[in-house]
Structure 1
């Protein structure tokens, strides 16, 4: 074989390596329809950087991510009191419908204090907000999901406007964490007794 032929083979091999890279580089950018991402009116209040930002939350498991969001501090307190931090952080591919501080504030203080001091009742309420699968925006239009508590959550809506159990509005949905999808809601959901 001549040096010319060997050089051609090397160039051909290099072209074969470069070609797939250039095809990837030339692929069209993802459109809004391809990737949803967080949606809803309260998403604008999420910090742009740091542990409480969408990028920061995506790196942490769900209970840790929630602890970095100041709007979820009451939920985080409740999760700690129920002893569910490790359970939620170790779970895989779950969805958490996470009530804001304002959602908890809708509950009369005496009632909330009573629930926070009753670990069994608190655990039942909190696990009612968790679904054992990832539920993205595309499944919310007319959804029915079994909660870890054993009850059923229903979702409906369209565009960027969705409700859970006809009562709680999703104010910031499709928030990614390392092990869960989070839909932040404006009302605490109560399981059927």
Structure 2
């Protein structure tokens, strides 16, 4: 009987210590989620849904993008436009990468027309690239010149940002060896 009381007392004491520790851990996690994104971490409402095959921080940008199944249309278009070598050779670029859903918003004829015209495809794709590294803190009221030569703007705060006032950044600050990737939900059109 004495052995049972001792075991019960130890189990109760362990529970009393564990519950506050677990609650403290939950409070810390809750607070961390409310904080603004750190320049070293990914952010955005779509990051958890963005399936990734491997860590891409050591990969050149095209290989890094290829690790994400949701960027397969972009990778295919980049290869078709013969931009892979040029992108992988540039240091510290930022790519506003349209996901597959963004490409699917175009009609089949619009997409076929774009993919069959290498010059136009290259123009559209290079409009999504900025030849410098853009950190999340620069997105609030950003204005950047793209590789295509046009201007691209960013706006927002916290973890919600838009590009050119319409494309949402669904997952941002993904690192590659020579680039930072911001996945967006629309294909951007360069100014005429």
TM-score (norm 1): 0.78
Q: Name 1:159's counterpart in structure 2.
A: 158
- Deviation sequence 1:82-141 (CA, Å, 0-9, x none): 000111111100000000000000011100111001000000000000001100100000
Partner of 2:108: 109
Matches within 5 A, 1:1-193: 35-47=39-51, 50-51=53-54, 56-193=55-192
Q: Alpha-carbon deviation of 1:34? A: 5.9
Per-residue CA deviation, residues 5-37 of structure 1 (Å, 9 max, x unaligned), is xxxxxxxxxxxxxxxxxxxxxxxxxx9776541
Deviations 1:20-63 (A, max 9, x none): xxxxxxxxxxx977654100011112347x42xxxx11110111
After the TM superposition, list the runs of 4 or more consecutive aligned residues in structure 1 that deviate by more than 3 angstroms.
31-36
Cα deviation, residue 68, structure 1: 1.2
Distance in 2 between residues matched to 1:146 and 1:81, nearest whole Å: 24
Distance 1:103 1:46 in 2: 14
How far apart are 1:150 and its partner, in Å?
0.1
RMSD of equivalent CA atoms: 1.5
Distance 1:47 1:107, change over 3 A: closer
Q: Structure 2: where are the runs of 5+ without partners?
A: 1-31
Q: 1:143 to 1:65 in 2, by over 3 A?
A: same
